[in-house]
Homo-oligomer: A and B are copies of this chain.
Amino acid sequence: MSPPHIAGVGMTKFGKVPERTGRDLFAEAGSTAIEDAGIDRDDIDALYVGNFMGELSENQGHMGPLMAKAIGLDVPATRVESACASGGMAVRQGVRDVRNGEADVVLVSGVERMHNMGTAGATGGLSVAADDLWEIRQGITFPGAYALMAQRYFAVHGGDKEDLAHVAVKNHANAANNPLAQYQSEISVEKVLEAPPVAMPMGLFDSSPITDGAAAALLVSEDYAEEHDLDAPVAITGTGQGTDNLALAERDSLVWTPATRDAGQEAYDDAGISTDDVDFLEVHDCFTIAEVLALEGLGFYEEGEGITAAREGETTADGDLPVNLSGGLKAKGHPVGATGVAQLTEMTKLFRGDHVNSDAVEDASVGLTHNAGGTVASAVVHVLEVAE
């Protein structure tokens, strides 16, 4: 069972393009990945599509075959959905297909259209990631749920809104020169603190934006890469997935994410690594507090200690453990179903030296992606390693 290698990646510029359809966005990302890999598209054996709410945003389900045919593929094509972790779950299915010999070449992808729904529509759409009976009908929104988690964090562990502001400042700085990012502008702590409130303590700059976009990656078996003499140095050596209650009220703690812990632990075991081996991360920062909880859940910080990581410069581009060099969901953008795949495409480029922030991870050999659904009722983690 040898790990799949990433032979090619593609991603649309994330942003606001309400006039582009899901199939259009997917086709750009998918075709880019195929061109990047330089392989014959007839060699592709299967397609997985991560999509969260196409039924609501464009009256479109059944995106497996729809997307396959949009780029001329006639292969088994399946949509997976796990809210904001849909993309990561699509990656996971592809990883398993390749490493188990079910396929030699799998295209994994994610796509989401959000701006055509309007802001209220998108917020309503996002609500289907939460528990309709016990959360949405009670009036909670996603920003509200994460605000509860942040308030609770402050109460239990300390920290304040300024600590969180540093997360947003860091991720905007990382995106500043990333041509595919939705926001290519640095921001200051003051700007974050003075921004309009969304759900306190979360302000406008603590929140990831509404985004249209798609991402895709071609996973190939080691044998296929060798036979075709591909330049595919990055391999996915570990995968893990975790589960929790959808409703915050049904959890033991608002500030601890067992789904992230379980996904991380399974991925570490799978890859045979520990957190000490990891050089950099892409984590699910849908809100600034989410990045803090991710770093703790993944075991990089003790509970209550992740809050100062960005402020202390530990997770900045020049820190010991760069986090979200892509700009993260916060600044790169968060087209929900595409996010988990975009983490993979950005990390691959960071490893390969063709990302604007590649210099920050010149000697890196191990990276980790963390994609979460809802308020982390699902999480999926992948370990990426540069082949020797």
Contacts and interface: CB of A to CB of B under 8 A. Distances in A.
A78 B259 contact: no
Q: Interface residues of A toward B: which range?
A: 35 or more
A243 B69 contact: yes
Contacts of A100: 96, 100-102
A136 B243 contact: no
A374 B55 contact: no
Give the number of copies in the complex.
2
Contacts of A54: 128
A64 B242 CA distance: 11
Of the candidates A79, A243, A245, the one having the most CB atoms from chain B within 10 angstroms of its own CB is A243
A23 B127 CA distance: 17
A128 B61 contact: yes
A243 B82 contact: no
Nearest to A242: B76
Interface in A52-68: 52-56, 58-66, 68
A81 B65 contact: no
A89 B78 contact: yes
26 contacts: A53-B61, A54-B128, A55-B128, A60-B128, A62-B83, A62-B128, A62-B130, A62-B246, A64-B243, A65-B82, A65-B259, A66-B131, A69-B246, A69-B250, A74-B243, A74-B258, A74-B262, A75-B243, A76-B241, A76-B243, A78-B80, A78-B89, A78-B241, A79-B82, A80-B80, A100-B100
Interface of A: 21, 52-56, 58-66, 68-69, 73-83, 89, 93, 96-97, 100-102, 127-133, 136, 241-246, 250, 258-259, 262, 266, 373-374, 377-378
Given A62-B130, A77-B243, A100-B100, 8 more contacts: A55-B55, A60-B131, A62-B378, A65-B246, A65-B259, A80-B81, A96-B96, A96-B97
